[in-house]
Structure 1
Amino acid sequence: MELLWMWTRVLGSLMLAEILWTLPIDEDHQLRPEDVELAEDYLRRFYSLNLRDRVHVAPVRRSRSVPAMEEKIREMQKFFGLRETGKLDSHTLDVMREPRCGVPDVDNFSFYPNEPKWNKYTITYTIARYTPDMRREDVEKSFHSALKLWSDAAPLRFIKVSHSKADIVFSFARRTHGDFFPFDGPRGVLAHAFQPGEGLGGDVHFDEDETWTAGRQGYSLFAVAAHELGHSLGLTHSRDPSSIMYPTYKHHSSAQYSLSTDDVLGIQTLYGKPNKKVETQPASKKCDPYFSFDAATMIDNEIVFFKDRCMWMRTIKATYWNRLTEGHSSTYLPGISSHMDAAYDIPAKGVAYIFTGRKYWVVQQLKTKSRSGSIYEYGFPSRVRQVDAAVHVSEYGKTVFFVGEFYYRYDESKKQMDPGFPRLIQKDWPGIPRSVDAAFKLHGSIFLLSGKKSYQYDVKQKRVVKIIPGNSWLGC
């Protein structure tokens, strides 16, 4: 037995060495053996990497292992909006390390063949095992809220029962727990769910090695349950970062979670529309005193504001200053399905750049999309997952990106980040809050939108010269 174990270890070392020899890597990134193991396991679990194709000990077959690995890496990079290099660069590995759902991202997997769905509209559920991390009533409330998201969007009714024959069974477990999909300890896979059907069908399992919570610490049970229930109802993963069905965990409070348009279209494709009107992400209440923006920029002669799936265009010509056009973003930018995180324009080029998660889009006038790319082409470190706001300062040829409490400065002519960044916003932008939601430049001033307020910042004086309600730009 001991001899067999030693031979297995030797063979495993030979195979790992073979991977390191043949695997496509980024020349600027030092690949470690644990990186290879992570990537191989990730692609096997979530992108159907065939173990027979991942690596071959025989040197004559090396040429087959590289294309197979590259293809799966590219597939994963495309899904998450990364640069499709086919190489294990630092950004790709960082995404692989993010906490996520255990259901694969590709369509051809055994969890969901033939787009299954429940053949009824009243679905029962039960909680087989609770987590000691939370009070029982908080666990039940989290599940009830998650179920309500989907019942509000489709003609579905969920009833809690006390027996194990319920359609959907919620439970918490560690490691191997009897379904052939063992959990992996803290972080990594947080939970997984099964397609509608008999037996395990519809069931949702949560990794007890995680810290579950109803608040901001640990992992939000409501948020993870909302995602997994989408699988229980028959939905697969979405490539839209704003979607509940996006595979990686998003660190937001429970109050911020709502179904995106992509989620609503998906569930209604399976079950139809509800009897009452569905509200996706609230955007139309523009005159609410706490209204805030997602992004803003100049396109042609108009200031364009974005919020969820809505956009407003304020004409700045003197004769049309009061003209305000409102519409759905898909009407004007049909090629961009995600909500807008940030945007900036370069008037001299006649283009605008719109950021959605890890991806950016180049827009020439409205309704015209020329190309897209990864935000990491700008030189952002891998820890940056999205841009909060951006503005181009043409006098200096620089573009400023706001990310959390920090800002970066990008040189458009050199196509690289300026050295010494990121820097703290509050240190270099006196009078501006700790974070910025949107920004644009108009008549020599930079307007920074944060929360419910708009700050007019004089670049030369380096100070705030005026503060107004943010939605006053929309006539409120």
Structure 2
Amino acid sequence: MFHDILILFLAFIPSLFARNVDHTEFLQKYGYLPRGSNQVSSESLSEALKNMQRMAGLEETGELDERTKRMMERPRCGHPDVHEEKSSRGKRNTPPIFKWQDKTITYGCKSAGTSTRISLDDLRRTMHQAASQWSELADVEIVESSETNPMIQITAGRAMHYPCRVSFDRQTLAHAFFPPHGQIHINDNVNFVMTNYTERIGGNSLYSVVAHEMGHALGFSHSSDSESIMFAYDTPRKWKFTSEDKNMMRNYYGPKKSSTRSREEDNREDRERDERRKYEKEKEKEREKTREREHEKDDIRPDECRVENPIVVQYRGEYLVFKSQWVWRVSSDWKRLITKAVPIDQLFPGLPNPIDAAVSVGHHLWVFVGEKIHVIYGNRMAHAPLTLSNIGINEKYIDLAYEWHYFNPPAIYIWKGSRYWKLDEKMDHRRVDERYPKPIDLNWGRVPKGVNSAFTYQKEIHFIRRDQVYRMNSSRSVFDVADGYPQPFSSIFAFCPRNEKLTLNSSHYSKNYFSAVVLFTITILTSYF
């Protein structure tokens, strides 16, 4: 009874912290519906939602679905997405309506009387950095000026702030005005941090917000590209100018005379981005072919000592190894084969196969099959399957999942394509942390490409690619593959003939191995990952 009440309470927690957004008012505020209209037809509302979804990079359903509601609740810029002067479908690279005519654009910073969180020094330093970055893109100089009325003026204020008639709410990070007004207003109620990342630990990035608002002050509208600095919503990412941002700046203010190299770099970035997308599509096709081959081989029981791309997970004091429709159990020290391969539904009745990934979450086993997450307690289904969207991942399937025991409680990670997520332990791992997803290359760049699954043994993460195991060494300053790896997957098992066991009990795991260094590493990893 208590367990059921606890589950119900945990499911209710997200609604306690969600921003209370009036969805019609939201659509009016950001230009998708006319202001002051109390009655809106279903057709108008559907079209407005489609336009909003397009700008937010969502599927254009025209319905107020959960993904749309969550996006409406995210922190964002207060500048409208749609203006009377521009169609919501208009391209940002059409001839500009608002721009400065001078080749030198001046700006000034001042701390409003109500500002308590953001110092004048932080504003000046951040504005200088953003101005320098924008100036490098085109034939224009953006410089600080001590004059009374610079072209662009940045201030910080709370709630109702001069000279605006619009009060800051909890969702709005800042807003700005097109030329020739050039005002930038930062919401002093927001807990900003001085970092290049959006939504990092402890607050939103002042740098990314100021750079975004400066784009408005230069005359640019919002972009539907979630990677663009002009994307309206503050989503977790390390921001940088996209090729669209760079071309837009050059179209408005003219290219720099020495811009040939930068254009070549833009083209290179575009090619790399296309190659990544092509790689992910090919990987998805390969995955489907692999699943088809596995279905064809379902009747052939695998050799526990010779297997490619198995899915390994630690659960209830032992390890489970999944392959196709089969599963077998191995002792926690890898010395003993507890049971040979048996059909999955014999050990876990009702569990579909083949599976995509599996990970222990508390006392439960989460098994990922397509969009569904089957939660197992003991060897039975704990309740109806969850979906990836239930936990905040909008994908059709995942590539792998694992837990890392360096943290207490263990951190749980999920990978798909070039991104990864971390489950939020504060939400009892029922949702992903709002700061994710992040690029895999950001923190896991040394992991070999094309890995299929991952598991933890003696606190170290091991990745599997085909029949090879790669152990990662987290005791180093650089998170890298450990010395002596990769090794054949079969060499893990002491019960496999003519195989040497992995040196898991070597000096790498001695109890006296630089305890102070390990403690320091854990502290760094806790703040970094």
TM-score (norm 2): 0.51
Cα deviation 1:11-36 (Å, max 9, x = unaligned): xxxxxxxxxxxxxxxxxxxx99x999
Aligned equivalent of 1:272, options 243, 247, 254: 254
TM-score normalised by structure 1 residue count = 0.57
Q: 1:460 and 1:107 mapped to 2: Cα distance? A: 49
The alignment of Structure 1 onto Structure 2 pairs a total of residues equal to 328
Counterpart selection for 1:203 from 171, 175, 183: 183
- Answer yes or no: is 1:239 the counterpart of 2:224: yes
2:108 match:
126
> The residue matched to 1:228 in structure 2 has which SS?
helix
Which of 411, 414, 418 is matched with 2:369 structurally? 411
Match of 1:451 in 2: 444
The aligned residue for residue 142 of structure 1 is 126
Deviation at 1:221, TM superposition (A): 1.7
Contact 2:403 2:455 in 1 (8 A): no
Q: Which runs of 5+ in 2 are unaligned?
A: 1-14, 291-322, 326-352, 360-364, 377-385, 392-399, 419-439, 457-461, 464-468, 473-479, 482-529
SS at match of 2:123: helix
| Residues 346 and 114 (structure 1), Cα distance of their counterparts in 2 relative to 1, 3 Å cut | closer
Do 2:152 and 2:217's aligned partners in 1 also have CA atoms closer than 8 Å? Answer: yes
Query: In 2, distance between residues paired with 1:276 and 1:408?
Result: 55
Aligned mate of 1:100, from 56, 69, 76: 76
CA distance in 1, matches of 2:211, 2:264: 15
Q: What displacement does 1:65 show?
A: 1.8
The alpha-carbon deviation at position 159 of structure 1 amounts to: 2.1
SS at match of 1:70: helix
Higher-RCO chain (CA-CA 8 Å, sequence separation at least 6): 1
Query: What letter matches 2:190 in structure 1?
Result: E
Instruction: Tell me the CA shift for residue 86 of structure 1.
Output: 2.1
After TM superposition, the structure 1 = structure 2 runs for residues 68-217 of structure 1, keeping only pairs within 5 Å, are 68-108=44-84, 115-129=97-111, 131-185=115-169, 187-197=170-180, 201-215=181-195, 216=200, 217=202
Deviation at 1:100, TM superposition (A): 0.5
Instruction: Verify: 1:329 aligned to 2:329, yes or no.
Output: no
Q: Distance in 1 between matches of 2:41 and 2:57?
A: 24
Gaps of 5+ in 1: 1-30, 56-63, 285-307, 311-326, 352-392, 441-447, 471-476
CA distance in structure 2 between the aligned counterparts of 1:461 and 1:129, rounded to whole angstroms: 51
Is the 2:138–2:249 Cα contact (8 Å) retained in structure 1?
Answer: yes
- For 1:75, what is the secondary structure of its paired residue? helix
Equivalent pair of 2:77/2:173 in contact (CA under 8 Å): yes
Match status 1:345 vs 2:327: no
Q: Say whether residues 1:42 and 2:26 are aligned partners.
A: yes
The two structures, once aligned, show a CA RMSD in angstroms of 4.7
Larger Rg: 2
Give the alignment of 1:349-364 within 5 angstroms.
none
For residue 147 of structure 1, report the CA deviation from its aligned partner. 0.9
* 1:357-398 deviation digits (Å, cap 9, x = unpaired): xxxxxxxxxxxxxxxxxxxxxxxxxxxxxxxxxxxx977544
Alignment-derived partner of residue 9 in structure 1: none
Question: How far does residue 123 in structure 1 lie from its aligned partner after superposition?
Answer: 0.6
Q: Match of 1:290? A: none
Deviations 1:281-322 (A, max 9, x none): 9999xxxxxxxxxxxxxxxxxxxxxxx936xxxxxxxxxxxx
CA offset at residue 53 of structure 1?
4.7
Give distance in 2, aligned partners of 1:409 and 1:343: 24
Q: Are residues 79 and 173 of structure 1, via their aligned partners in 2, closer, same or farther at CA, if it must alter by over 3 Å?
A: same
Q: Shift in Å at residue 118 of structure 1? A: 0.7
Pairwise CA distance, 1:266: 1.2
Report deviation, 1:272. 1.8
